Amino acid sequence: MKTKKSKQNSAPKKPKAKKSKNHQSRPKKHYHNVLKSLHQKHQHQKHEKVRELEAIAAELAHENGAEKSRNGSGGKKEVIVKVKEFNFFYNKGKKQALFDINMDIKENTITTFIGPSGCGKSTLLRSINRMNDLVEGSVSSGEILVFDQNIFDYGYDVTELRTDVGMVFQKANPFPISIYENVAYGPRSQGVKKKNVLDQLVQDALEKSALWEEVKDNLYAPALGLSGGQQQRLCIARAIAMHPKILLMDEPTSALDPIATLKVEELVLNLKKDYTIIMVTHSMAQATRISNYTAFFLKGELIEYSSTKRMFTNPKDKRTEDYISGRFNG
């Protein structure tokens, strides 16, 4: 693979990546040069986000307003995430985790990523909001477009990306503060100060996460006192309090019992009308229960990507068939 700059040029040859950018090899001084303007842009965007959240809260106060700010038109679904010839490497290029991935994800759908452990599902998921930037020595090539903009473009605002693309992890990770403060945390850190606005956003997020009825009389109790399933729904509430457009979920139910799992699944299905959900799951039953589309990965390659119904009834690839019928053992 060709990388543009010499510093991290040690990536192995396969696959035939184009002269695409090595996203982590840009000279540091350029980052420094754009830092100031990015900061100004970020401040401006922060103010815009506060205005957006205040407007949403005002609409919510007049009932069912949140939907209006989203495309509930029911028309043809647009592609919201486009992955193009995407390769990903760990350890400064020594370990390639993803090979030439191409996929389009449509808005207001649920897409599940399946495949054996280590096949790259989480790596791709975490690339969509550039969480992998935090992994030292990681390198990627190709493009991921979110709302038609390549998130690896020079000067792209990662903070804004992460407000648009929320994340829920495998293990519920509420902050050791109250239930209310967990949910208010995001809007507050964006600059929302008005108590009535925060109250509205917190209630809405907890309602959408199917947790409100269980916690409304106890909002100031410690979040860590909730059950595992409740904690995971709280983390979903925390993510959606920022009104993202896309929710990434990395095996959100793998640590939950079957009843808590079903609750989260029900909730995810409900969220689809407002959000685009991309979820890694180890459970093929879960993929069939909730997703519109399924992507099957094997050793870093996207083997098959189609409607869930088609994948589980009439897979195109023999390897998919083997995996979903339990014959795959590698």
Task: Show the site string, 255-294: x = touches ligand ADP by CB under 6 A, - = not.
Answer: -------------------------x--------------
State in angstroms the smallest separation of the CB of 18 from ligand ADP.
Answer: 22
Q: Quick one: which of 81, 105, 120, 311 contacts ligand ADP (CB under 6 A)?
A: 120
Residue 24 interacts with ligand ADP (CB under 6 A): yes or no:
no
Secondary structure (3-state) at 255: coil
Q: How many residues bind ligand ADP (CB under 6 A)?
A: 14
State in angstroms the smallest separation of the CB of 183 from ligand ADP.
Answer: 28
CA angle, 25 as apex, 19 and 26 as ends, to 5°? Answer: 100
Cβ–Cβ < 8 Å for 141, 86: yes
Residue 130 interacts with ligand ADP (CB under 6 A): yes or no:
no
Beta bridge partners of 296: 114, 304
Q: Quick one: which of 111, 123, 141, 286 contacts ligand ADP (CB under 6 A)?
A: 123
Cβ atoms within 10 Å, residue 81? 22
State in angstroms the smallest separation of the CB of 75 from ligand ADP.
Answer: 34
Distance CA(205)–CA(189), nearest Å, equals: 16
State in angstroms the smallest separation of the CB of 138 from ligand ADP.
Answer: 7
Residue 118 interacts with ligand ADP (CB under 6 A): yes or no:
yes
Q: What is the DSSP string of 215-248?
A: HGGGTTSBGGGS-HHHHHHHHHHHHHTT--SEEE
Handedness of CA 183, 189, 192, 196 (dihedral sign): positive
Q: Quick one: which of 4, 46, 95, 188 contacts ligand ADP (CB under 6 A)?
A: 95
State in angstroms the smallest separation of the CB of 169 from ligand ADP.
Answer: 12
Residue 155 interacts with ligand ADP (CB under 6 A): yes or no:
no
Residue 108 interacts with ligand ADP (CB under 6 A): yes or no:
no
Region of residue 114 (left: phi > 0; alpha: psi -120 to 50; beta: else): beta
Binding positions for ligand ADP, rule: CB under 6 A = 90-91, 95, 97, 115, 117-123, 135, 280
